[in-house]
Amino acid sequence: MKKILTIACFILLLVSIWLAHCLYKSGVEKERLKSNQDALMSEVKLYETKQGESAASVLRLQLTKKELEGKYQTVCQEAKDLGIKLKRLQAVSQTSTQGEIHAKADLKDSIRYRPEIHLVDTLKKFNWKDPPWAFVDGVIDSGKVDLTISTNDTLIQLVHRVPKKFLFFKFGCKAIRQEIITKNPYNKIRYSEYIELK
């Protein structure tokens, strides 16, 4: 009888440990889904830094591999094209910027020899630059403009924890947020998304 009671207690202990583990996992999953709901309901916050740089702030979206494959096929295809297995992905960040440059440049005469008709032809050339961000070179030939535009940019991405607040106290972690800054003054951030894989 004592032996049966000991075995029953041991089985009850194992069942209790398993139930506690299931309860903990469902609590973690509930927090993840709540965090994802907050991220999906909130909009990307676009703002300017004190230096006048375009910046964006976005909440983290935490997805499973299956959820990523279901909703973000293009991201999955990009990873496959690069030879990266989805199970090895940790996070995916997408940021869209738009550049706009208004420039004025003086026209300069240039000479070109055309051997097929034995003629010297004049061209109008111009260039404009704002190093290191933008470079424009152009030629006007027979009423047509031939342009080369080069731009450089650096995106700085900062991922940080947003603490929970109660009165004046900050504690724990309410959400994960990503801040993105574009260093090119001609570019503006239009959209951003931060996905972390569970």
Model pLDDT for residues 80-95, shown as the tens digit of each residue: 887 877 777 777 887 8
Is the domain of 161 the same as that of 147? no
In this structure, the strands spanning 54-63 and 187-197 are parallel
Confidence of residue 118 (pLDDT cuts 50, 70, 90): low
Asked whether residue 144 falls in the same domain as residue 161, the answer is no
Q: Would you state the pLDDT for residue 30?
A: 81
pLDDT category at 117 given cuts 50, 70, 90 is low
Whole-number pLDDT of residue 36:
75
Question: For 23-80, what is each residue's pLDDT tens digit?
Answer: 888 887 788 778 778 777 778 888 888 888 888 888 888 888 888 888 888 878 888 8
Is 21 contained in some domain?
Answer: no
**By three-state DSSP, how is residue 26 classified?**
helix
Query: What is the predicted pLDDT for the residue at 113?
Result: 66
* Residue tagged 């005469």 (tokens): 109
Residue 181 belongs to domain spanning: 31-99+153-197
**What are the strands, taking DSSP E only, across the chain?**
45-48, 54-63, 91-99, 108-114, 119-130, 134-141, 144-151, 155-166, 169-182, 187-197
- Residue 114 — pLDDT band, cuts 50, 70, 90? low
Q: What is the distance between the alpha carbons of residues 84 and 92, in angstroms, rounded to a whole number?
A: 12
CA distance 184 to 53: 8
Q: How many distinct structural domains can be found in the chain?
A: 2
The answer to whether the beta carbons of residues 96 and 191 sit under 8 Å apart is yes
94 within some domain: yes
Asked if the structure places residue 50 within a domain, the reply is: yes
Same domain, 157 and 147: no
Residue 192's pLDDT is 86
Which tokens in the block code for residue 56? 């964006």
Which pLDDT belongs to residue 183? 86
pTM of the predicted protein model: 0.60
Indicate if 48 and 75 belong to the same structural domain.
Answer: yes
Higher pLDDT, 133 or 118: 133
pLDDT tens profile 149-178: 888 888 888 778 788 888 888 888 788 888
Start-to-end C-alpha separation, the chain? 47
